[in-house]
Amino acid sequence: MEILEIIRKPWPWYVAGPLIGLTVPALLLLGNKSFGISSSLRHICAAVIPANISFFQYDWRKGIWNLFFVAGIMIGGFIGNYGLGNPDAIVVAPATQQVLAGLGITDFSGLMPSDLFATEHIFSLKGLIFLVFGGFLVGFGTRYAGGCTSGHAIMGLSSLQWPSLIATISFMVGGFACTHLILPYLLQLVR
């Protein structure tokens, strides 16, 4: 039971960070593969959409390992959430709770605030903005940047790729700008 308790608790950054970072050399050494998640959507579309779109006309089977990798992430997330969930309450700093409460976010019981992402919000203006429009922006940004945050920030930076440094800085600047400038405005709009 000792190992199960170790797995359930959040790991410190100095353990989790190197483990994530070691996936890059492991993938490179084991099969000359690069780490990234966004390419799996292209593989799925190429496999299931028999359209005459040049972007999807390639041998997606060469990237099938990536689909297994993503399936493993989804299965691991499910097991982690429902089988190995951390029994401790999520800790949010009191100052952050106060700021978020001023914006109408008061439920801190889960990883995703139910004030924004509960099922009753899916077919509302809030759902349209945060789920549909937000999802579109994430997809557009991923395609425009030539990869997702995990691909650029983990794989690209560790292999010293200049475009990944620019993309990662842009992701961070965009995230800060959205959090501090756009999110408060959107939350006031959908109240």
pLDDT of residue 95: 92
* DSSP per-residue string spanning 62-123: GGHHHHHHHHHHHHHHHHHHHTS---SPPP--HHHHHHHHHTT----SSSS-HHHHSGGGTT
Residue 139 reports pLDDT greater than 60:
yes
Question: pLDDT tens across 43-101, in order?
Answer: 888 888 767 888 788 888 888 888 888 899 899 888 887 888 777 777 888 998 898 88
Task: Name the nearest CA neighbour of 27 among 77, 73, 66.
Answer: 66
Mean pLDDT of the chain: 83
Average pLDDT over residues 103-119: 80
Task: With cut-offs at 50, 70 and 90, classify the pLDDT of residue 27.
Answer: confident
Task: With cut-offs at 50, 70 and 90, classify the pLDDT of residue 169.
Answer: very high
Distance from chain centroid for Cα 29: 25
Q: Which two tokens stand for residue 27?
A: 């993938």
Contact 156, 28 (CB under 8 A): no
pLDDT of residue 173: 94
Residue with the larger pLDDT of the pair 121 and 44: 44
Average pLDDT over residues 160-189: 88
Residue 1 reports pLDDT greater than 60:
no
Contact 28, 106 (CB under 8 A): no
pLDDT of residue 10: 78
Average pLDDT over residues 146-153: 82
Question: What is the pTM (predicted TM-score) of this model?
Answer: 0.70
